[in-house]
Amino acid sequence: MSWSKLKQQLESFLSPGLQGRVEYRATGYRYLPDKAGLCYISVDKKNILHMSDRTTLIKWYQTELEIKNDSGIQIPISIEEMEAARKDTKGNVPEDRLKVIARNRKMSEYAKELLTAQASLSKSDFNAVATKFLSSSIEDSMECDNILMNILALMDRRVGKKRILNMAEKMKLKHPVVQYFYELRLSTL
């Protein structure tokens, strides 16, 4: 699908409060094959999410340690995760320390997922994800682990006020850029 057609379809699905504020932009260099194309999602004429080829990663987070030390990321720990930590330590560890061990394990998994997701943001991936988004249900797009699918779904007019308000807890576990677009959508309700 051509970029102009894809852009037109994506912008037709924007929530009424975001129309005119959110734009999808792309540049391509037809005669310079070594020059990679760029893709942006801009809000109020400011580039918020910049996607380029795989050689330039998006630098939201650069290391696992940054993610672990970010106090803004709050990871809920389930009883099953506590029991797994208790089993691994053979029950010789106090309860409060078990919670720390379980949280650190989950933060490590979360950090690896974030870094992997950031590495896959490029213009060609955007085109593929946007095409997939247009052909899949909104529920699948919301539950997907892909950052771009989550962003496109959050800005979609088919996602109503009640659903947006009910996903506040899930958003705490999402990538910071997804949280940004969630807050943007909340501000238009």
pTM check: above 0.75: no
**pLDDT, average across residues 35-55:** 72
Q: What is the pLDDT of residue 184?
A: 92
Same domain for 126 and 178?
Answer: yes
Same domain for 99 and 68?
Answer: yes
Which of 74, 97, 118 is the last residue before a domain boundary?
118
Instruction: Tell me which range, 10-24, 48-62, 71-85, 94-108, is most confidently predicted by mean pLDDT.
Output: 10-24
Same domain for 143 and 90?
Answer: no
Q: How confident is the model at residue 45 (pLDDT cuts 50, 70, 90)?
A: confident
What is the chain's percent helix, strand, coil content, to nearest 5?
55, 10, 35
Same domain for 102 and 176?
Answer: no
Q: What is the pLDDT of residue 119?
A: 55
Instruction: Specify the residue for token string 């734009």.
Output: 23
In whole angstroms, what is the distance from residue 153 CA to residue 172 CA?
A: 16
Same domain for 69 and 91?
Answer: yes
CB 103 within 8 A of CB 84: no
Range of the domain at 149: 3-58+121-187
Q: What is the pLDDT of residue 155?
A: 92
Q: How confident is the model at residue 182 (pLDDT cuts 50, 70, 90)?
A: very high
In this structure, what is the dihedral angle of CA atoms 131, 12, 121, 41, given to the nearest 10 degrees? Answer: 160
Same domain for 83 and 175?
Answer: no
What are phi and psi for residue 48, nearest 5 degrees? -95, -50
Same domain for 145 and 178?
Answer: yes
- Total domains in the chain come to 2
Q: What is the pLDDT of residue 118?
A: 58
Average pLDDT, whole number, for the chain?
Answer: 79
For a pLDDT cut of 70, what percent of the chain falls above it?
A: 80
Instruction: Specify the residue for token string 């061990």.
Output: 101
Query: How do residues 98-119 score in pLDDT, each as one tens digit?
Result: 888 888 888 887 777 766 665 5
Same domain for 46 and 125?
Answer: yes
Same domain for 48 and 16?
Answer: yes
Which of 72, 90, 118 is the last residue before a domain boundary?
118
Same domain for 113 and 157?
Answer: no
pLDDT at position 1 over 80: no
pLDDT at position 187 over 80: yes
Tell me the H-state helices in 1-73. Answer: 3-12, 64-69
Same domain for 183 and 92?
Answer: no
Same domain for 171 and 156?
Answer: yes
